[in-house]
Each structure stands twice: as C-alpha cells, then as structure tokens.
Amino acid sequence: MLEISPLLLISSIAAGYLLGVVSGLAPGIHTNNFALVLVASAPLLESIGVRPIYIVVIILANSITHTFLDIIPSVFLGAPEPDTALALLPGHRLMLEGRGEEVIRLSALGSGSSIILSLIFLIPLFLLFKHFYILIQREMGLILIAIVIIMILTEQGEVVEGRGSLAVWKYRMYAVTVFLLAGFLGVMAFDREALIDPVLGWMKTSVLFPLFSGLFGASMLVISILTHTRIPPQKRGGFTLPGWRILRGAVSGTLAGGIVAFLPGVSSAIATLLARLLIREEHRPGSDEEFILSISGVNTANALFALIALYTIHRPRSGAMVAIEGIIDTSSWTRDTINLLLLIIVLVSFLAYLTTIQLGRVVPGLIQRINYTHLSLLILIMLSLLVLLSSGIFGIILFLTATVIGMIPSFAHIRRSHTMGVLLLPLICYFNGF
C-alpha cells in the first residue's frame, strides 16, 4: 500500500506546477534543467523527510504544466523549443491577424483535450506496442524514410492561379534542398556535440537548443525586423474552428504524441511533424488553427505517455523520465502508484489550462503595445545570449548557420517543416547503421 502524506503531496504538486509555469514562460529554461537539479538534490531532500515519490510528483507536475504554457514564448517571443517549433509560423500568422488570444486558447484546448484522449487511448496503444514494439524498433529507419518521402511529395509550394502542373516540382526540389541542408547541419552537430561548452555550466543544453532557436526562432525574428512587422490590435473572444476539426486535431495530436513516446530515439518534435502531415489542408481556412491545437496535444500526450512507457516497457523516453528513473525504482511501482500519478496529471492539467487561458487574455494586449521591431531585436539579442551561455562558441556557430537555413522556406514559399531534416537525417543515419 502506498503511504502518502496529503500535505507533502499537495506541496509537491504546487511546487511542480510553479516550476512548470517558470520553465514554460522563460525562454531557454526547460523542464530538464529543474529535473537535473531535483535529482542532484534528492539525497538532501530525503534526509529531511521528502521521499522520492514526492520528487517524482514535482518533476511530473513540472513536465505537464510546461507543455501547456510553452506555446506563449514560442509564438509571441519567437523563442521556440523543439516540441513547439513548428507551431511558431502558424501562431505568428494568426497573431499578425489580431488573433493572439485565439492561438493561446486553441493551444490550451489541444493540451487539455489530449489528456482526456490519452486516458481513452491508454490501453489500445499499450496493447499495440506490447505486440509490435520489436518490429517497429527494427524497421524504424524505413519508417522515417517513408515520413520524409511523404513530407516532400505533399509539398505544394505557393498557390498561384494559372500555375503549371510541373511548377510544384520546383517547390519539391526546394524542399529537398532545405531538408538536406538542415539534415547535414544536424549530422555535423550531433557528431560534434562534445564541443558544446557553456559559459554557465548549470545551463548546459543539447545541440537542439541552438539548432531550433536558429531554424525556427531567430530566422523569424530577422524576417520580422527586415520587414518592420507591426502587431495589429488583438481581438478578444474564442474561436470559430468547427467541432469536427477540433476533434480531428486533438485526436491526431494525441495519437502522434502517444505513439512516439514508445519509440526509441524519436522525440516529440518528430510527432509534431507527423501531426503536420496528418493535417494536409494547408491552404484552407482553419488549417493553422487545427495545427496549433494538434501540436499542443502532441506535447502534452507525449509527456503523459512517456510515463506510461517508463511503467510498462521500463524505457525512459524523455529527460523527465530519465530523472525519475534515477531517483526511484520504477519496477516496484504498483497499479495504485500509476493511478495516483495519472490523477495528479489530470489535476495539474486543469490548473495549467486555467493559467494558460488567463494569460491568453493578458499577453496579446501587452505585446500589441510594444514596438514589435524593437521587441524582435531585443529578443534576438537575448536568444543569442542564451545560446552563448548554454552552449558556448560552438552553439553560436550552429545558431547562426541554422538561422540562415531557417530563412530559406519563407523566401522559397515552402513549408518550414522541411527544416526538421535537422533531426530526421541524423535519426535515419542512426537507425540504418550509417
């Protein structure tokens, strides 16, 4: 029987929730930073009566809350994480239409819906991977190649009236070029990851931070500065996305996030790409809104299913789960333990949802009052500084190179998702033994 102190449990939930608010809103701070500190502090905390299960609750609450709030700096400050990078362009577009609050509401709805749907899909996905996990793991290289082929062949480029049937292949060649440029950058970066030498040791991050900050963050900021982007008055209220599209976006995001949580070496950033491919109506009204909802569902579902993967197949699939495995023997968990943790996830999700909605009423109005060109320049400087502090000179080189590559899709009129080659090509090489 699991012995739990109600006071310590509530305190742990509150602490994790607050840490999630901080990591979700502050560019450059990730749940992994707090998880590492908590793991290092575990012996001290245990000596004063804080058992490992409470540290697990803090890490879990932090992880879930973070997935609700991280859309805000990604869209409004141009400071994306790998998990939210693809949402930046659709979210930015909607913000420039005066629909910033709608972006946040859609994101909150996507994350909240994914929690409910994840609980529904829990058993089916577990049974699926119980029987096919080894097969999927063995064929992962071919699966990723298939994803790339689909991604390239579904590229339509700029829709222009009277365009010839062969014009689409020009855009597909652009897509291949961007994919390979980003891919070779990714291969080089991962091969030389040991060169990451942060100015501040405690801020050390993986090569993904400078890569994604350049590909999806700085590239958009530079374009905003060059074009003197202005933020229009922001509208208040909800959204008009039809119910069936809300459901489709939530289901596709939840399934993509849940499936990827069980796969070795594949992050939720790839799951967002899967969600993008599932929603192909890119030039139709509502596609941006549905995609934002879907991506938010991916990230939250992935955080929940990472816990299930740790419990069922004993494989940590995220930094938070690696931390949890490092402080507690998960093989000793009972059904009561996992049920308690799932209940905590539901509670924290409710709190995070309310917080996100409330911030959605405040943040767009604040951004509107600021000169966006000056704000973009300030954020670009801060992002560069964060990269330097967390990954050193090598990180800055990756950041600048990624920024240039990240600007190409906007000028070539192709999807920015092709820059996900930065992850896909290294993974394809890894799974195919290159």
Task: Dump pLDDT digits (tens) for 206-258.
Answer: 788 888 888 877 888 888 788 777 777 777 767 778 888 889 889 988 988 88
Does 239 reside within a domain?
A: yes
Task: Dump pLDDT digits (tens) for 363-411.
Answer: 877 777 777 778 788 888 988 888 888 888 999 999 999 999 999 988 8
Rounded Cα distance, 386 and 382, in Å = 6
Does 117 reside within a domain?
A: yes
Does 169 reside within a domain?
A: no
Does 177 reside within a domain?
A: no
Rounded Cα distance, 133 and 404, in Å = 38
Does 170 reside within a domain?
A: no
Cβ-based neighbour number of residue 144 at 10 Å:
23
Which residue matches tokens 């339509």? 156
Does 166 reside within a domain?
A: no
Does 316 reside within a domain?
A: yes
Which residue matches tokens 């000793």? 332
Q: Residue 162: exposed, middle, or buried by beta-carbon count in 10 A (0-12, 13-18, 19+)?
A: exposed
Strands (E) across 62-185 are located at none
Q: Can you give the residue range of the structural domain that contains 99?
A: 6-159+193-431
The whole-angstrom distance between residue 308's C-alpha and the CA centroid of its chain comes to 19
Task: Dump pLDDT digits (tens) for 140-182.
Answer: 888 889 888 888 887 877 665 556 667 788 889 999 999 999 9
* Predicted pLDDT at 315: 78
273 with 417: CB under 8 angstroms? yes
Q: How many domains does the chain have?
A: 1
Q: pTM for the whole thing? A: 0.79
Does 171 reside within a domain?
A: no
From residue 188, give the alpha-carbon distance in Å to each of 181, 419, 425, 426: 11, 15, 11, 9
Cβ-based neighbour number of residue 129 at 10 Å:
22
Token code pair at residue 188 = 């080089």
Rounded Cα distance, 78 and 337, in Å = 39
24 with 11: CB under 8 angstroms? no
